[in-house]
A and B are shown apart, each in its own frame.
Chain A
């Protein structure tokens, strides 16, 4: 990237704007992040709940993801406990989904004559959502930049029709496009703000809280309360509200994991509990809309 005539690579925010522009032009509703803590963009109700049922649905959005156990106190150049995914969901999956996806890479400046783009088998499964799909992790020069999935089931229900899901790891893509080795060195914008300026202190404090400070009794309590509130919503036939509580339980479980207070055996039981909540919310959503399983 030392060639002075080469165009300046996209900043982090410019890349997001470019993706928004691209998917907007391809008919997606451009949504905003969901205002809850979640482990992946798939948890956003615009994916999970909208994947259910027969209605066509095309949407794209950025979702902040919280992975407490991935925190490294800001010391690892590649790992973060908070990062961004760019999520696209297209239902039914269009026949040219791969081409559309490659078009989006070109739109953010990936030259496919000098880079090696590969679709490598990676079957996606979310035990906490009762969901699975087939697809690939997309590699760019050996780096996984996108998870590409054809959902087959969500909340335990067969997809009718199948949705295609694209999940871009935004920081990785940006590091790649900007040719930087440390995530904190990313240009966040073109006005001198770096990713580190925005997030380094956040990573330090949140890693400390996730790993060392978070009160585990209160977290266990929060988990129980979220589960109970989910049941309450289910009883009131409010699937979206129930689903929000399932998300809350899921994130609380992730925090407990980071605190190292969940044993291997208990882990399965907790995942099972969250899965039951999420599945019940999905089932309620199906029922409320009168969709056959």
Chain B
């Protein structure tokens, strides 16, 4: 058993791509080796900014010899068949093996030396590597077919045991030498074997293990902040990013002028994190402190004094800019800013942002005055909506667009708006993503809903609905936001008809995460007329619970049997949405006009009569329950049909010779189907 080491050294690999690259390297290599019947007892991967490495432990020195058998014709087969087989395999009749009267071609493939397999795998893996973005470089790039890598590839270390696995790709020959830290150890470093890799590079000021680097940063940063009497604001993403930017990480604490603390802490944290990749700290009171932790990639000769000083200056310049914007913005009331929105085109066919704001304000006011969003003063909703986009023309949001909303909230609070208004301005974009919190304050809910619904309706109205992968106005995200606002706050709102299909699709995607079956959502939407997502989901949830029970599963089976017979017999009358009673108002439905179902002209068989009786009882019960939105109750009513349906199919022949009986029984099955459709279109349910 021997260990294999591969190091692909390149110019700096983006931090955010390193983790996935390690996975891909392991996966692609395992795949190539599996083709040769090889597998490692242990796989380890490392990434630094300048290298991607793989260690495969416990590889055999050669692959197993394999004997491959191809089945041929029977020994008694006509000569043409035999000839064909011999041609295909390139063997003679004497070389075939006969077993139980059948001929076999047996090929012995000898084992191959593992390094040979590795030498073939390396270029395959490199050429197939799925970097999210890759590039060409150098003289070879005169051809667009030249090797692509994330950044120029500089060197390959490939060692099986202590022997170099010889490969050459794009003019780079493998070897045993690599580079140490760019500044601490500019000389070449020779690696003896996989076992020495980590320690040899450590001696060359490179910590190859990304987790170790992250731990060094976490510990070091906590230490320097503790020494200053502060606590570090932990940020796992930032930790990984800094680990991906360094080979020899050195966390250093710096201070900035406390005057900058007049700027909102989110702004300071954002600019420190996004622009500079610094951690921030809190003081003993939990307030943001005038300190930052940067992670250098060098153990500087002066202990890092110049590095801290340089970073302090950069941060100061950024904070100075931020404070300038903040102070300037504070001087202008939001309603003044909002006036400038008529200069910003929202969309060429949809007018300016000011036009949009007016529509949103009206809608927010309506949502609250009609009680769709209850417990909310319509005047507050209107006020919040009128000011909600004003921060788009502020200097701060111009500089940091991701602070939209948040800054508006600060400016609103500063000019003495009602806290509910300020909060609504701050949070009206939410929820922005899957994991984002959904607002619950009524004013915020109203403005957030109005903003998203307006975008959806307006863009749909001008034919700008998303298609395929194209969703330039992020309408899918808006719809998802509406769905979450509505369902999590239990807002009873009728989704406009032109948006309903779009919402149905978004709802399926969103509910899949929560384990709700998309076919059940289909089964409810298929009834038509349902535009209340809260009621729809209640019905879907009840349905999912029901089909999970024996009663539900059997009723579904009985329903499908009935539906199949109806289909085969060409009875295609569909339920109408009004009959299905999904919209609530249709619940008190009139009995369906079914052919000859009322008074049978013949003596019903007992099972037939029992089903009629069961339907007579279940139909109104289910309809009542639906009207009360007691969907579990409606399912329970349907469940009473299960036994009679089973008995009916057991004892009664639908396709009777007597046309009257046949017609009556088909009508009965139609009644069963319609009764079930009063709750959901079971034909959409899978399984």
Contacts and interface: CB of A to CB of B under 8 A. Distances in A.
B130 interface: no
B144 interface: yes
A178 to B, nearest CB: 12
B258 to A, nearest CB: 17
A117 B183 CA distance: 9
A291 B131 CA distance: 30
Contacts of A158: 144
Interface string A116-134: 1111110100000000011
Contacts of B15: 121
B345 A264 contact: yes
A113 B150 CA distance: 28
B294 interface: yes
Interface residues of A, number: 45
B207 to A, nearest CB: 16
Given A116-B307, A141-B310, A142-B276, A160 B344 contact: no
Contacts of B309: 141
B144 A114 contact: no
Nearest to A266: B345
Interface stretch (B110-118, B135-143, B482-490, B607-615): B135-143
Contacts of A123: 133
Given A112-B183, A159-B141, A161-B141, A136 B12 contact: yes
Interface stretch (B313-321, B433-441, B521-529, B621-629): B313-321
A77 B300 contact: no
Contacts of A209: none
A114 B133 contact: no
Contacts of A114: 300-302, 306-307
Nearest to A72: B324
A176 B347 CA distance: 44
B662 interface: no
Interface string A47-71: 0000000100000000000000000
A212 interface: no
Interface stretch (A89-97, A232-240, A241-249): A89-97
B39 to A, nearest CB: 34
Contact of A160 (B14, B142, B346, B348): B142
Contact of A113 (B183, B310, B320): B183
Interface string B280-301: 0000000000000010111011
Contacts of A103: none
Contact of B152 (A76, A79, A95, A117): A95
A158 to B, nearest CB: 5
Contacts of B93: none
Interface in B268-288: 276-278
Nearest to B350: A265
A123 B134 CA distance: 11
A265 B346 contact: yes
B71 interface: no
A265 B297 contact: no
Interface in B1-45: 11-12, 14-16
B245 interface: yes
A2 interface: no
A181 B309 CA distance: 11
Given A113-B183, A123-B133, A265-B348, A176 B138 contact: no
A260 interface: yes
Interface in A261-293: 263-266
A150 interface: yes
Contact of B12 (A119, A141, A176): A119
B210 interface: no
B298 A263 contact: no
Given A76-B321, A134-B133, A265-B346, A115 B313 contact: no
A159 B345 contact: no
Contacts of A77: 317, 320
Contacts of B348: 265
A80 interface: no
A250 interface: no
A152 interface: yes
A55 to B, nearest CB: 11
Contacts of B317: 77-78
> Taking each of A123, A158, A265, which has the highest tally of chain B beta carbons within 10 Å of its own beta carbon?
A265
Contacts of A28: none
B306 A150 contact: no
A143 B294 CA distance: 12
Contacts of B310: 115-116, 140-143, 176
Contacts of B344: 263-264
A136 B139 CA distance: 20
A184 to B, nearest CB: 14
A186 interface: no
Nearest to B150: A134
A248 to B, nearest CB: 25
Contact of B14 (A98, A118, A121): A121
B140 A161 contact: yes
B270 to A, nearest CB: 16
B346 to A, nearest CB: 7
Contact of B138 (A95, A120, A181): A95
Contact of A181 (B14, B137, B313): B313
B343 interface: yes
Given A118-B245, A150-B135, A150-B152, A162 B307 contact: no
A140 B352 CA distance: 43
Contacts of A266: 345
Contacts of B297: 116-118
Interface in B503-557: none
A141 B306 contact: yes
Given A161-B142, A162-B135, A265-B346, A120 B302 contact: no
Contacts of A97: 152
B79 to A, nearest CB: 57
Interface string A133-172: 1111000111100000010100000111110100000000
B562 to A, nearest CB: 56
> Taking each of A116, A117, A118, A143, which has the highest tally of chain B beta carbons within 10 Å of its own beta carbon?
A116
Contacts of B135: 133-134, 150, 152, 162
A95 B245 CA distance: 22
B343 to A, nearest CB: 6
B136 to A, nearest CB: 5
B305 to A, nearest CB: 8
B476 interface: no
A47 to B, nearest CB: 17
> Taking each of B278, B297, B313, B346, which has the highest tally of chain A beta carbons within 10 Å of its own beta carbon?
B313
A130 to B, nearest CB: 17
Given A121-B15, A142-B294, A115 B343 contact: no
B151 A134 contact: yes
B343 A260 contact: yes
A70 to B, nearest CB: 11
B408 interface: no
Contact of A263 (B140, B245, B313, B343): B343
B486 to A, nearest CB: 29
B49 interface: yes
Interface in B302-345: 302, 306-307, 309-311, 313-317, 320-321, 324, 343-345
Given A150-B135, A161-B140, 9 more contacts: A76-B324, A112-B298, A120-B245, A141-B309, A141-B310, A142-B278, A143-B310, A150-B137, A160-B142
18 contacts: A76-B320, A78-B321, A92-B138, A93-B152, A116-B296, A120-B245, A121-B14, A133-B135, A140-B310, A141-B306, A141-B307, A141-B311, A143-B313, A152-B136, A181-B316, A263-B345, A264-B346, A266-B345
* Across the A-B interface, the 10 shortest Cβ-Cβ residue pairs: A141-B310, A121-B14, A265-B345, A142-B311, A119-B12, A263-B345, A162-B141, A161-B141, A116-B296, A161-B142
Interface of A: 54, 76-79, 92-95, 97-98, 112-121, 123, 133-136, 140-143, 150, 152, 158-162, 164, 176, 181, 260, 263-266
